[in-house]
């Protein structure tokens, strides 16, 4: 959220699309939607939805869709993550088949607001969940996001070690 705020100001009242697996990062965005007061549209396959209890708890601001174009329609931020996280490498081929229609590419980004930003927590798999031209585009703020995460992690380590 810090990275979006640095680039566009307050995220309250904005609309965000999560495209891909309803994994831990997606669930963090669900919690962030409540905390930072934004709408979250999630495009994911049926078998890869985020925690049902969490989405039910935040149903006033979270919507699950199957169509990624509908999810990114007029959003201010598009976010994705790898399709096979650490420990899921054995599922890579199966996940590739399930998620292939959910790649964030320029065509998909064209359905978002003209000044929409793109974020990914990295590392990214170019040509899988995100096309190289989106990852490297001026509206991609993944490197600023990575830098902000580094500083947050250092602060967390300092707090944990000092108590």
Distances (CA, A) of 134 to 6, 128, 129: 20, 12, 10
Alpha-carbon dihedral 150, 155, 158, 159, rounded to 10 degrees: -140
pLDDT at 88: 84
Are 16 and 43 a contacting pair, CB within 8 Å? no
Listed as ranges, residues in the chain with pLDDT below 70 are none
* Residue (of 23, 19, 22, 1) closest to 10 by Cα position: 1
Q: State pLDDT tens for residues 49-87.
A: 999 999 999 999 999 999 999 999 999 999 999 998 888
Domains of the chain, start order: 2-161 (3.40.50.1370)
Helix (H) or strand (E) holding 31: helix 24-36
Pairing outcome for strands 77-80 and 15-19? parallel
Three-state SS at 110:
coil
State how far the Cα of 134 lies from the Cα of 51, in Å rounded to an integer. Answer: 28
pLDDT at 100: 95
pTM: 0.94
End-to-end CA distance of the chain: 27
Written as six digits, the tokens of 104 are 């964030």
Sign for the pseudo-dihedral over CA of 46, 51, 53, 57: negative
């Amino acid at each position: 959220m810090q990275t979006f705020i640095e680039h566009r100001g307050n995220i309250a009242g904005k609309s965000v699309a999560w495209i891909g697996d309803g994994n831990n990062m997606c669930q963090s965005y669900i919690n962030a939607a409540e905390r930072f007061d934004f709408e979250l549209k999630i495009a994911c396959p049926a078998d890869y939805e985020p925690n049902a209890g969490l989405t039910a708890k935040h149903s006033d601001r979270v919507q699950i869709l199957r169509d990624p174009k509908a999810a990114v329609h007029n959003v201010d931020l598009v976010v994705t993550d790898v399709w096979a996280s650490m420990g899921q490498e054995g599922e890579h081929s199966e996940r590739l088949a399930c998620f292939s229609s959910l790649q964030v590419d320029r065509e998909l980004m064209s359905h978002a607001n003209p000044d929409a930003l793109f974020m990914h927590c990295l590392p990214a798999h170019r040509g899988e969940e995100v096309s190289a031209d989106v990852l490297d585009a001026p509206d991609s703020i993944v490197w600023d996001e990575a830098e902000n995460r580094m500083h947050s992690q250092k602060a967390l380590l300092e707090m944990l070690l000092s108590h």
